Chain A
């Protein structure tokens, strides 16, 4: 009986701790959602921006101190009536194009934007040209798919089969 009560007490403690930690997590959500419209715009803008501390996260997602500060900064700029472009300019003036998940089209970024398409085009052209050339070649220009030993054994098998098919029936 006592054991049971102890286990129950332990369960209650565990539940309380879990609930408390859940509350602690919930408290992390930004409480400044006073104006939902501004909050939505802030999230939209910062989702396009890279957090420099955790580089694979957006400023919207990251819990790094700098990301929190930059979200706050973005919120304040929106309250001042700044445009999206002005906010993005504010970020690139400080951290460079690196903060943009969509890099702008510049002479330096042309290979980045069109390189993959160019490689695909080259690959496709080579493939088409090769296939066309091969389709015009005579059949004996190709090596057989099997090697010489296999051909021999196949020939032997064929001969045996032919013999066994003809021999008994006629005899």
Chain B
């Protein structure tokens, strides 16, 4: 009789644990959700061919560069603008990294004016092998750019392999971009 009662009370105590467990499960899911950065929207362009473009070079309005001209070797495309505050924060990191000359670094000068962009590069330094001048931001839209700076890694066959949103950091370059470039090289 007493053992029956004991069993029953143990069972009812276990039933009490179920809502508690459910609560912790829900809290865990929400905690993960809260700690994700809502600004990091996964790009649908990863592992897809980069959008075709034809833009004039920032330093030479008469020279048009097409995506096809860049094929053959992996490269980095960094979206920047002279009006972009976070680009200024990123700039020394990119300057430093570009000195390694691991792969070509191209700039997509997004919704800027030539005069401002030139002045900006003259003042802060130019890490780019070339910058392409996207005045109305059309090419930016094709690349799904929504927050400058953004950085794309494009492989030799013109496929986007990675996108980084926000300023590049030494950590991102060393632990994400460099391993990827090594893999693409192999």
Contact = CB atoms under 8 A, between A and B. Distances in A.
Interface of A: 52-53, 55, 65-66, 69-70, 73, 92-98
Contacts of A70: 141
Interface in B122-177: 136-137, 141-144, 146-147
B44 A95 contact: yes
A52 B146 contact: yes
Interface in B3-61: 38-39, 41-45
B146 A96 contact: no
B142 A98 contact: no
A96 B43 contact: yes
Contacts of A65: 111, 137
Given A52-B41, A55-B38, A94 B142 contact: yes
A138 B39 CA distance: 58
B124 to A, nearest CB: 22
Interface residues of B, number: 16
Contact of A93 (B41, B42, B44, B111): B44
B146 A66 contact: yes
A92 B143 CA distance: 12
A171 B143 CA distance: 102
Nearest to A70: B141
A70 B143 CA distance: 13
A53 B41 contact: no
A69 B41 contact: no
A66 B140 CA distance: 10
Residue among A52, A53, A92 with most chain B CB within 10 A = A52
Contacts of A92: 44
Contacts of B137: 65-66, 69
B147 A52 contact: yes
A63 B66 CA distance: 31
Nearest to B144: A94
B49 to A, nearest CB: 12
Nearest to A68: B137
A73 B141 contact: yes
A107 B32 CA distance: 21
Ranked nearest first, the 9 interchain pairs of A and B with the lowest CB-CB distance are A52-B146, A94-B144, A96-B44, A98-B41, A95-B144, A69-B137, A66-B146, A53-B146, A96-B42
A95 B111 contact: no
Given A70-B141, A73-B141, A53 B43 contact: no
B141 A94 contact: yes
Contacts of A53: 146-147
Nearest to A69: B137
B156 to A, nearest CB: 23
Given A73-B141, A92-B44, A95-B44, 12 more contacts: A52-B41, A52-B147, A53-B147, A55-B38, A65-B111, A69-B136, A69-B137, A69-B141, A70-B141, A93-B44, A94-B45, A97-B44
B76 to A, nearest CB: 20
Nearest to B165: A52
Nearest to B45: A94
A69 B144 CA distance: 12
Nearest to A65: B111
